[in-house]
């Protein structure tokens, strides 16, 4: 194989290569010989058939195999000899192919940029931290107490009021036709909770046990089920029972019911959990600040095809959210043209920072240990209280899911390594400030 011409433009390397006809024919004959071993042709013993007959029978298949093999081999040699750091799969275009003549093909491949790492200790960052307010602990305890409240059946003959639990049977219909998912039996609905369609609960206030009510509502325009969105519906409702929620006292007995020694130890545990949440938010903002600093500090030419691939992924996610009415308020407020332009910038940033972090990982020989993966699985399990075993079992049985964890785990290790080098100043802020994330931060982080 010989290169007849080559060109480098930016990160793109291209060349034209030629595989000599005699080299190609030699490979073809080698493959015909392998195919013919033990072949049985009428009138000949295995392996004794004339070359002309073997060529006639096997040459077509041998040509394709030899061509594919020699082109791929040549491409590998070019990449190796030219020390190319390939960003994506090379594009190969075969010239006119004629049996018995030299084979010409063109190769075009995007390469990774050369990145010179600077002194991370020159970067200065601010780490936001917040103290846990006493009222936040009380709010958390109140939330737990509310979720564990017991109910008591209303025995007196009275109309329902806001805050009551109405145990109902219901069946919804549109234009007299019942729709899927519109039925329920013995459903405990807290009146005033706004957990049902707007206006539904209001029509049950003032009714009694045994009453039958036709509740007339209109599904919101952005309702998740598109076939119901914006439509008028009627729910035939039967109030089977009324209940009231009993107040739960937050005291030592309440703490013991949750497995704690007393109320003081419960409060400490709640405080520690909130602190952990604050620390996670703090680290998230610190990471964002670091990425912003790196983005500003490093000017890196990025492979266009990698950017396009990342952009396509972002657009697919956007299209999916749009189709299922899951766009956030920021996306709804922007025109699609402006959003797509932002997504292109985001794709460029992600690829740039991804290449930079990868370079740091290689330069510093950062690797993932089994403990890192176990820790990631533990953190994932924490997100699903009460279902930890199910999460562990999922990863135990799903190797692909474990593999999917490796990229974010590696990124976190690299980010942590860089953060260990930079100058960090702690700053105490309010809880509101700690949790204030601008919309553009959500998009680009």
Secondary structure of residue 232 in the 3-state scheme: strand
User: Torsion-angle region of residue 337: left (phi > 0), alpha (psi -120 to 50) or beta?
Assistant: alpha
- By percentage, how much of the chain surpasses pLDDT 90? 79
In whole angstroms, give the CA distance from residue 60 to residue 283: 62
Residues 414 and 117: beta-carbon distance below 8 Å: no
The per-residue pLDDT for 355 is: 97
The enclosing H or E element of 58 equals helix 51-81
Give me the residue label for tokens 């003081």. Answer: 264
* Bridge partners, 213 (sequence order): 237
The strand pair at 165-174 and 232-245 is best described as antiparallel
In whole angstroms, give the CA distance from residue 200 to residue 244: 19
Helices 399-419, 263-297: axis angle to 10 degrees equals: 80
Q: What is the DSSP string of 385-439?
A: TT-HHHHHHHHHH-HHHHHHHHHHHHHHHHHHHHHTTSEEEEEE--HHHHT---H
The per-residue pLDDT for 32 is: 85
Q: What are phi and psi of 343, to 5 degrees?
A: -60, -35
In whole angstroms, give the CA distance from residue 70 to residue 87: 22
The strand pair at 177-190 and 124-129 is best described as unpaired
The per-residue pLDDT for 51 is: 64
The per-residue pLDDT for 38 is: 63
Nearest to 437 by CA among 349, 330, 337: 330
Q: How many CB atoms lie within 10 A of CB 82?
A: 14
Q: For residues 331-362, b (16+ Cβ closer than 10 Å) or e, as one string?
A: beeeeeeebeebbbebbbbbbbbebbbbbbbe
The per-residue pLDDT for 278 is: 95
pLDDT digits (tens, 9 = 90+) for 267-287: 999 999 999 999 999 999 999
The per-residue pLDDT for 100 is: 85
Ranges of the chain with pLDDT below 50: 439-443, 445
What Cα–Cα distance (Å) separates residue 202 from each residue in 177, 190, 246?
Answer: 24, 11, 22
The per-residue pLDDT for 176 is: 93
Q: What are phi and psi of 220, to 5 degrees?
A: -60, 150
Residues 427 and 126: beta-carbon distance below 8 Å: yes
What Cα–Cα distance (Å) separates residue 294 from each residue in 122, 123, 400, 405, 439?
Answer: 11, 9, 31, 24, 20
The per-residue pLDDT for 148 is: 84
Nearest to 359 by CA among 3, 116, 103: 116
What is the pTM (predicted TM-score) of this model? 0.74
């Amino acid at each position: 194989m010989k290169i007849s011409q080559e060109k480098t433009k930016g990160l793109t390397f291209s060349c034209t290569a030629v595989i000599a006809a005699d080299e190609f024919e030699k490979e073809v004959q080698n493959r015909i010989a392998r195919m013919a071993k033990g072949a049985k042709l009428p009138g000949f013993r295995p392996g004794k058939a004339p070359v002309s007959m073997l060529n006639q029978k096997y040459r077509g298949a041998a040509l394709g195999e030899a061509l594919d093999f020699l082109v791929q081999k040549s491409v590998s040699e070019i990449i190796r000899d030219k020390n190319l750091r390939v960003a994506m799969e090379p594009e190969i275009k075969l010239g006119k192919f004629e049996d018995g003549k030299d084979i010409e093909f063109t190769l075009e491949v995007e390469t990774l940029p050369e990145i010179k790492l600077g002194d991370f200790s020159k970067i200065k960052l601010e780490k936001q931290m917040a103290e846990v307010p006493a009222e936040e602990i009380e709010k958390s305890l109140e939330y737990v107490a509310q979720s564990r409240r017991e109910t008591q059946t209303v025995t007196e003959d009275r109309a329902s009021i806001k805050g009551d639990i109405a145990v109902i049977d219901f069946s919804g219909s549109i234009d007299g036709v019942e729709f899927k998912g519109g039925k329920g039996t013995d459903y405990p609905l807290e009146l005033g909770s706004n957990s049902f369609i707007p206006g539904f609960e209001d029509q049950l206030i003032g009714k009694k046990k045994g009453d039958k009510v036709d509740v007339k509502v209109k599904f919101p325009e952005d309702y998740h089920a598109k076939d119901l969105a914006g439509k008028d519906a009627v729910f035939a409702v039967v109030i089977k029972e009324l209940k009231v929620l009993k107040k739960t006292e937050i005291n030592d007995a309440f703490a013991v019911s949750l497995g704690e020694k007393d109320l003081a130890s419960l409060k400490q545990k709640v405080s520690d959990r909130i602190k952990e949440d604050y620390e996670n938010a703090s680290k998230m903002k610190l990471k964002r600040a670091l990425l912003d600093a790196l983005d500003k500090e490093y000017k890196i030419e990025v492979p266009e095809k990698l950017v396009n691939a990342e952009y396509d992924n972002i657009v697919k996610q956007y299209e999916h959210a749009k189709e299922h009415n899951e766009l956030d308020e920021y996306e709804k407020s922007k025109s699609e043209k402006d959003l797509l332009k932002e997504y292109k910038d985001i794709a460029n940033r992600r690829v740039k920072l991804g290449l930079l972090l990868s370079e740091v990982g290689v330069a510093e020989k950062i690797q993932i240990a089994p403990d890192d993966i176990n820790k990631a699985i533990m953190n994932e399990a924490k997100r699903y209280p009460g279902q930890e075993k199910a999460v562990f079992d999922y990863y135990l049985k799903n190797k692909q899911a474990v593999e999917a964890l490796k990229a974010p785990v590696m990124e976190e290790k690299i980010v942590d390594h860089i953060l260990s080098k930079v100058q960090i100043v702690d700053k105490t802020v309010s809880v509101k400030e700690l949790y204030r994330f601008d919309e553009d931060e959500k998009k680009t982080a």
